[in-house]
Structure 1
């Protein structure tokens, strides 16, 4: 099968198209013809060798959407011809992917590009807010990076729950995106002091109920100033320093909880629950995919380069045909 691969770690130029063996499915798996795949920042970490792959040549990416073309002998949840989306789909940039049927969710009539765009960002946001954060109606939540993939998804999901959403952005254009997603308050952190703005918004009532943090090493001190007593800080990343110091005294003084989330290791039942709820909300038109920049599979190196240079506002999507 025709696949995007890299045979060594390195710059985006290591990405190339090559012939790879077609995957063989197990009893509980489905074989999917991939129509579109999504690129996430973590994919660039693997390509550069910051995170390690199992072997070379390696087929990258985890987010995909496509059509079911073969069923394992024990699969009862899907039929040939089903249109699905998935994350944690190893080798998502191959022509075909073998996938555990339980983590393939219905796409219905949504375009394949949208399915690939939804996957990891919405699953991460949903699990962070509800599995780890136990977000409730009327909670006040601070979501960093409201124009980013996870932030954009989290705003929509939190508003669907009935929470008050505060988010941060760096430009007027990004402010428009965050407001369109449903944010109640948008703070431009270049022009304003976020901590001071949070005090005003929460009317000096002690801070926010929950913080969804994308870069803990940069934000932890501020997070602890802004979280209310008994609140929760959910961290999904710390790219600048993945071993940041723990501000233990401040954490204890706030009786706060610092909670991690890694999509690859989430309990399977929680993962499936999140995927099903996301699919239902999308089919009902309650949430929608982020804006996207679409590339051909052969343009993957250009897409990786643009993503790393922060030139893509939204999602980078590869189309396979």
Structure 2
């Protein structure tokens, strides 16, 4: 079968086309015929050396994807051959299980049903972004552990970076769960994307009165902040929250050190929750997988220009270019078409 592999870390030039044997799934595993592979920042960061396999170990890039179950290993009862699935963190601690190949062997616990009405492209775009968004929206002390319609009724959610993949998913999931969604972006082009995703209100974080604008939209403060730049946005986040609010940060874009105004934070019982889906535990994964699947079935997790997430497509042999696009900060979702496109 065709696969993209690398045996040493570095820039995208370490990625090579290869022919790999089609393996058989073991206990608790399934084999998936990959139709579409999704590319995320975590993929190029791993390729460059973050949590990478030791040098000399053949690794297949990309954590997320969607396809069709091709074989089922012992002990797997939740899937059968022919089932459509979407995959999340397939290659975590399993370097050969990346999705940039025609068939991958993955843990059944990292696969989730793909509703019939949802395309493989959409399924490949879920994974890291949607699960991260779900986790950020469900870590509040007074909030739900799993999203569903109505779960966030009456809540105000602030999504930082609403034009990014995680921000886009957070807007969509929060809207689906009933929240009022405010998002911050850098300019008018990204504001249009956030509005297309479903944000009720969009504020430029570059505006000197951004705090006042958000307070005007949420006089009592926001309940949950979904944060991509914890340090750079720390002052704004802390200023627009209220007692028992949660700031859920999954990134620190810009690398600015995070500073917490202790007096305000303790007086509000403010919660900072740091979000990394690789280590968040199995119960959170089960909840996220079920909620993302349900939201997708309801048509709440679309991709494409009309939903505010432009799609950039590459064939498998151009995986290196796809990685470069993501590493270069392309706006939208990068997908790799592994097999013939279809539903």
- In terms of mean alpha carbon deviation, does 221-230 or 245-254 score higher? 245-254
Aligned to 1:316: 334
Which of the residues 205, 223, 244 maps onto 1:209?
A: 223
Structure 2: distance between partners of 1:246 and 1:199:
20
> Structure 2: which 5+ runs fail to align?
92-97, 145-151, 304-308
Structure 2: distance between partners of 1:50 and 1:100:
22
Preserved contact between residue 31 and residue 103 of structure 2 (Cα < 8 Å): yes
Shift of 1:79: 1.3
Shift of 1:21: 4.2
1:255 maps to 2:266: no
Which of the residues 114, 120, 124 maps onto 2:122?
A: 114
Preserved contact between residue 24 and residue 71 of structure 2 (Cα < 8 Å): no
Shift of 1:263: 0.7
Structure 2: distance between partners of 1:30 and 1:123:
21
Residue deviations 1:213-251, cap 9 Å, x none?
112121222211121122111011124438645543342
Aligned to 1:288: 302
- In structure 2, the CA distance between the partners of 1:239 and 1:199, relative to structure 1 (3 Å rule), is closer
Structure 1: distance between partners of 2:239 and 2:261:
11
Shift of 1:304: 1.6
Structure 1: distance between partners of 2:23 and 2:277:
23
Structure 2 residue matching 1:217: 3-state secondary structure = coil
Structure 2: distance between partners of 1:12 and 1:254:
46
Compute the RMSD of aligned alpha carbons. 2.0
Aligned to 2:63: 62
**Count of residues paired in the alignment:** 318
Structure 2: distance between partners of 1:30 and 1:242:
42
Structure 2: distance between partners of 1:19 and 1:242:
43
Shift of 1:256: 0.2
- In terms of mean alpha carbon deviation, does 267-276 or 94-103 score higher? 94-103
Structure 2 residue matching 1:92: 3-state secondary structure = coil
Aligned to 1:85: 86
Aligned to 1:140: 156
Residue deviations 1:74-106, cap 9 Å, x none?
222111111110111111212221122233112
Which of the residues 254, 278, 285 maps onto 1:264?
A: 278
Preserved contact between residue 234 and residue 259 of structure 2 (Cα < 8 Å): no
Preserved contact between residue 176 and residue 295 of structure 2 (Cα < 8 Å): no
Structure 2 residue matching 1:218: 3-state secondary structure = coil
Structure 1 residue matching 2:231: 3-state secondary structure = helix
Shift of 1:272: 1.5
Moved over 4 A (4+): none
Preserved contact between residue 117 and residue 292 of structure 1 (Cα < 8 Å): no
TM-score, scaled to structure 1? 0.92
- In structure 2, the CA distance between the partners of 1:161 and 1:111, relative to structure 1 (3 Å rule), is closer
